Amino acid sequence: MKYYIDQSGKIENTKDLTIVAYVGDKTKSLRISAVEKRKLIQVLKKLEGEKRIYIYKIFSSLIYILLSDGSIKDVIIDKEYPGQEPIIKDLIIKLFEAEGLKYPNIHFGIIGKGNPSHVVAIETFRGKLKPDLIVNAKQVVELIYGKKIGRSSHSR
């Protein structure tokens, strides 16, 4: 069965929360608050510089968290960031590989407003549905950079 992934509330819009949801024969969503996104973006900008790659790293990480139980074999992700699909796919695959997990077949497409994943994402964004997972900045930073973040990796 194919699963469809949609986002509501862009990552770079730091005034609003972000929801990422999938729908297939089951449904799952996650939420990251605006406050946590601001913390996360501040850390990633410091580590990555001003390059917008941090947005794709965050988006990829949220998708990974959503899919990391390994039960989903085939996903279609909404084209949230046109032209950046190869980067996003590569980042998701690297996260799966880093954890020693088999990654799903990843495709991108236009997910319209009638798609159930869009409905779940927007209804969760509006507060009409509860997210299955709540993610914070620390979780995403640790996922991207490993558990060593914040510890000195050099000696004097």
At 44-92, the pLDDT tens digits run 988 887 678 899 999 999 999 999 987 899 999 999 999 999 999 999 9
- The answer on pLDDT for 113 being more than 80 is yes
Q: Tokens 């996104």 belong to which residue?
A: 37
Neighbours of 6 (CB within 10 A): 25
Q: Measured between alpha carbons, how far is 152 from 81 in angstroms, rounded to an integer?
A: 34
Query: Across all residues in the chain, what is the average pLDDT?
Result: 91
Residue 111 in tokens: 């997910």
> β-strands 27-32, 133-135: how paired?
parallel
The whole-number average pLDDT for the span 99-113 is 94
Q: Say which DSSP state 86 is in.
A: H
Predicted structure pTM score: 0.91
In this prediction, residue 152 carries a pLDDT of 33
Question: Nearest-CA neighbor of 111 among 33, 22, 25?
Answer: 22
In terms of phi and psi (left: phi > 0; alpha: psi -120 to 50; beta: otherwise), the region of 92 is: alpha
CATH topology of domain 2-141: Nucleotidyltransferase; domain 5 (3.30.420)
In this prediction, residue 13 carries a pLDDT of 95
Q: Measured between alpha carbons, how far is 72 from 135 in angstroms, rounded to an integer?
A: 20
- The answer on pLDDT for 153 being more than 70 is no
Domain extent listing, the chain: 2-141
The values of phi and psi at residue 139, to 5°, are -60, -45
